[in-house]
Amino acid sequence: MNERQDESLGIDVRTADFDPGREIEQLHRDHPECGAVASFIGLVRAHNQDGSVSRLFLQHYPGMTENAIREICEQAMARWPLLGLRVIHRVGELAVGERIVLVAVAGAHRGETFAACEMVMDFLKTRAPFWKCETTDQGRRWVEARDSDERAADRW
């Protein structure tokens, strides 16, 4: 892995919340030459198919999860001429409405930044070792992986 790619990646798997505005500003400060910054935030939804969600528990595989995210980011950096990538994925107990994940991409133009942001999210949902467990009014339930997520990832 070349050094430039290493400096351009900021990956965090942690329980603490993040400030999206601050993260995007930091990404821009780190890459002042960029012409575009694209971002995505994933949140804990109040409702799923079965009922209303009150809490979400995010489990992960310490070590493997960070490596998987790194590999996903490196794929994006290899595919497009990106300047920087920031991924924060929270784990542990989260309440409805809380932020789960941030993907932010800095590049020269909007084409590659939008595309990379979407690809990284599609791959995070299908290739990074996390498992969600929802608490609803019906009890605790491990979320099932969706075919639609696989199809989204297959597009890339």
Partner 1 sequence: MRLRVLYFGRYQDDLGRSEEELDCELAQLAQLRTLLAQRDQDWARVFGETNHRLLCAINQQLAKPQDPLADGDEVAFFPPVTGG
Angle at 23 between CA 107 and CA 18, to 5 degrees: 140
Residue 86 CB, nearest distance to partner 1 (Å)? 15
Q: Answer yes or no whether residue 143 interacts with partner 1 by CB under 8 A.
A: yes
Angle at 8 between CA 15 and CA 92, to 5 degrees: 10
Give how many residues touch partner 1 by CB under 8 A. 28
CA–CA separation, 135 and 56 (whole Å): 6
Residue 46 CB, nearest distance to partner 1 (Å)? 18
50 DSSP 8-state letter: S
Among 48, 52, 54, 59, binds partner 1 (CB under 8 A): 59
CA–CA separation, 54 and 40 (whole Å): 23
Q: Answer yes or no whether residue 79 interacts with partner 1 by CB under 8 A.
A: no
Angle at 66 between CA 75 and CA 91, to 5 degrees: 125
Q: Answer yes or no whether residue 67 interacts with partner 1 by CB under 8 A.
A: yes
Among 131, 138, 151, 156, binds partner 1 (CB under 8 A): 131
Residues that bind partner 1 in the complex, under the rule CB under 8 A: 42, 58-61, 63-65, 67, 89, 100-101, 121, 124-133, 142-145, 149
